Structure 1
């Protein structure tokens, strides 16, 4: 049993968290490393055990690593996925105690005070941690002590030992880096001959504090238990869901809409508290026969106004089969986005236009799908057919418009050849079985091809575009190819 009294802290360190996370998805039976570009150099970010046995280490350049190990398999590192994986491990670690927090980017800290008896002893609990982590393909090093600093030191530098004696004696042989000091301070201490924690304890505190500042003494006191250090558990993300149970089943459309309104109120209040808005809502209706139906509502923009959201449920609720009655309804915001509070004033009055447009997109999207409601957005290209992209209106914004010196036609289509000679538009020509006569022309506007792209349509070279108004009322966009003489119609103005 643990010999200390009071608080019991466990430090869990996953030294190969990034590489083992990646190998869980793509197993590799070879030396393996994750790479990350730092300081304009591709460096080794994390390794597996085989690569470490060959002498590779973190921070070395990928070129040097391949020189040592030509068979090295590399993949780009994903720190964002590592953070998500560590969050999942934090939730898993709550099986041992409720107080679990992150410890850097590759570790966890657990306050297991009052929980160790559930496993019989501290040793049994640590063995259970190792066994479960190993079963998941993870390397873990554990340290158990009565202070957070001592547990961290044992996990990182004590080979997973358990502090079963006085902290000063147990930590005396560990290097000064075990006090969670930065590399610069650790190197400076070693140059003074202070290589272990025991050396620090045997040195006068005042000179050390004057030379290295209060941080060194604070870390030493935290490890020895002279200065308190808490374990702050990471708060779970807010759950945006509300439920309503009825004493008597309901089935009328008006009653279901009224119940939905009652659910939207507290849900939107919670969203407002966290400055968030819902992009997707799921309404589950449970019937008295234990069957259930779901109504999903995807919104064109983040929203938390119950008065705007409620009418959007009408179409989906009208198709619900209430059976012998509905006795429970549950509303969940499945997808949530940040929606900061805005200043009330003239700007908010002008914002009603975009709100009505988003409501319209949502209504149409409930019928044909939000992905099928699309808008044109400008693209960074001077080629007419490449100057725009088509994107779903619900997942894009039209804040910036086109900045074009010359007008562009409303309708743009693949080039259609017409008869004509010379660099100026023909006075008479036939297009789409219509005989047209030129009344007025504006141009030319010369557009050169993008030489860095191989576009079959622009292999004829540069184009001279003309705005041609015909006597028959057609306003066309024609172009002439001087390098390969020919006339084409590519667009029509409104």
Structure 2
């Protein structure tokens, strides 16, 4: 079976996208900022009839056409619109891909008979796109390069055995060559593809780059060229519309439960879990209120997610009523199935902790709930890091300290009035007087020389475990280079 490729080129994609929403019966152009000035980016048919061309400066265009209306370019919106057209083109074949920023490629091999043939399929494409107020040019050929050339420099369908005849009268630019190469070929008198094909291949490769020969082989089918289809993006969203407005908490929860079941079933089929969900309530006054839920772990159980929405749903302002609910999961992670075994109970305990973090996070924010994780450092204040509890797992194996015991409470060093090398028998700390009962140490800790830490510029520290008569157990250190004593922690 011979390969058949369709190229759909939308020469006025940017302007058609805007005019479909806000139609105007006047010259219209989409502009963008280029080389320190506003230039015309895309024109409608009325603007072209006035003599305007793409790339013209906006001031010159207004001088030539005072009635010109303009709008700013939005490349992101154009790509989103082209992506919608790509999904629409799936009705004709399953193999559809982008070709630049304004065209699509369809591999219709073996699928044209479903619509009655190649001519009937192209006619159906043009009718549907014209009905949607879109300008399109198409080309159907046996290669990707030939289809691209026909859509831009000719029209119609090229039979498989007449590929070379159809390409011969087209300009060399139809081979998808850059402007500099096309200009160089035209200076040598090679204006059409037929004239270029008549030249010896060795001469072409010596005078020009191998890209010219490669593009010619791709257009003629001597070198294969694949279409890269866009992977379908799975949308985890559901919507429900009510015949009469609702406003009671129980009604909203009942609708939310139905939406959750639909999304969670889809998540289960994809072996994924949601990290964040957003409930959008459309009110009868055209205003929208929303409730957002962020989860401490990926979940796909509707019965577990629904109670977590309770607080945020109660705070919603229903106004004069809600006539539509929309639920979407916008942060989805892989969540493969696991075998149930003896360790399931341990996993359930971890899930219970994550659910608690989720409930607390709905009140104070997930980013405000942190946990400590070990870090590779022998310096006490840098032996741990603070991490978000929702996006990290607890560390069960903390490194064992080879020296003295570390205090449970650690704070910035606080000086006391003592300078002797041995621990002071009496000292004052935080306006409280203490008497020494027992001192264990010292444990010498050297600074990390590769880090410039101002708090460690005093040199090494000799740490002591101090027990006082008043019952406080302190963690103190002495700095030999600059004699002084500091309290940095307290044991429980």
For residue 297 of structure 1, the aligned residue among 293, 299, 302 is 293
**Cα 1:104–1:485, aligned 2, differ >3 Å: closer, same or farther?**
farther
- CA distance in 2: counterparts of 1:260 and 1:295, whole angstroms: 11
Q: Which residue of 1 aligns with 2:39?
A: none
Rate the CA distance shift 1:483–1:303 in 2: closer, same or farther, 3 A: same
Is 2:322 aligned against 1:326? Answer: yes
- TM-superposition CA deviations, 1:126-173 (whole Å, max 9, x none): 6xxxxxxxxxxxxxxxx9550234348969xxxx76699732456799
Contact 2:370 2:387 (C-alpha < 8 Å) held by counterparts: yes
Distance 1:320-1:104 versus aligned 2 partners, 3 A rule: closer
Name the structure 2 match of 1:270: 266
Aligned residues: 373
Deviations 1:226-281 (A, max 9, x none): 99998574243111111223344443323332222222111111112222222221
Within 5 Å, which residues of 2 pair with 1:253-402? 253-399=249-395, 401-402=397-398
Give the distance between the partners of 1:343 and 1:315, measured in 2 at CA.
34
| Pairing partner for 1:91 from 76, 83, 86 | 83
Could you tell me the TM-score, scaled by structure 2's length? 0.62
Counterpart position of 2:51: none
- Report deviation, 1:198: 8.7
Secondary structure in 2 matching 1:403 = coil
Task: Give the direction of change, closer, same or farther, for the CA distance of 1:242–1:391 in structure 2 (3 Å limit).
Answer: same
In structure 2, C-alpha distance between the alignment counterparts of 1:449 and 1:390, rounded to whole Å: 21
User: Which of 409, 412, 417 is 2:410 aligned to?
Assistant: 412
Tell me if structure 1 keeps the 8 A contact 2:413–2:487.
yes
For 2:35 and 2:439, how far apart are their aligned partners in 1?
A: 67
Could you tell me whether the CA contact under 8 Å between 1:101 and 1:108 is conserved in 2? no
Alignment of 1:65-76 (within 5 A): none
State the distance in 1 between where 2:219 and 2:232 align: 28
Paired residues of 1:10 and 1:151 also in contact (CA < 8 A): no
1:412 Cα offset (Å): 1.4
Match of 1:110 in 2: 105
2:242 counterpart residue number: 246
> Does structure 2 retain, via aligned residues, the 8 Å contact 1:109–1:148?
no
Other-structure match for 2:474: 476
Tell me the TM-score normalized by structure 1: 0.61
2:233 aligns with 237
Contact 1:150 1:171 in 2 (8 A): no
User: What are the superposed Cα offsets for residues 32-58 of structure 1, whole Å, 9 maximum, x if unpaired?
Assistant: xxxxxxxxxxxxxxxxxxxxxxxxxxx
Corresponding position of 1:70: none
Unpaired runs of 5+ residues, structure 1, are: 13-23, 30-83, 127-142, 180-195, 202-218
3-state SS of paired residue (1:342): coil
Q: Distance in 1 between matches of 2:408 and 2:33?
A: 49
- Alpha carbons 2:369, 2:390 under 8 Å: kept: yes
Report the Cα distance in structure 2 between the residues aligned to 1:27 and 1:11, rounded to whole angstroms: 24
Equivalent pair of 2:374/2:395 in contact (CA under 8 Å): no
Aligned pair in 2 of structure 1 residues 444, 88: CA closer, same or farther (>3 Å)?
Answer: farther
- Equivalent of residue 150 in structure 1, options 135, 145, 155: 145
More divergent stretch after superposition (90-99 vs 445-454): 90-99
Moved more, 412-421 or 282-291: 282-291
Q: How does 1:24-39 map to 2 (within 5 A)?
A: none
CA 1:274–1:95: 2 relative to 1, 3 Å: closer
1:104 to 1:382, Cα distance in 2 relative to 1, 3 A = farther
Task: Report deviation, 1:480.
Answer: 0.9
In 1: Cα distance, 2:346 partner to 2:200 partner: 66
Task: Tell me how far 1:102 sits from its aligned partner.
Answer: 4.2
The SS at the match of 1:488 is strand
Q: Is the 8 A contact 2:373 2:395 kept in 1?
A: no
* Structure 2: runs of 5 or more not aligned: 11-30, 37-75, 107-120, 177-195, 202-215
Q: CA deviation at 1:96?
A: 9.6
Contact 1:242 1:267 in 2 (8 A): yes
- TM-superposed CA distance for 1:481, in Å, is 0.7
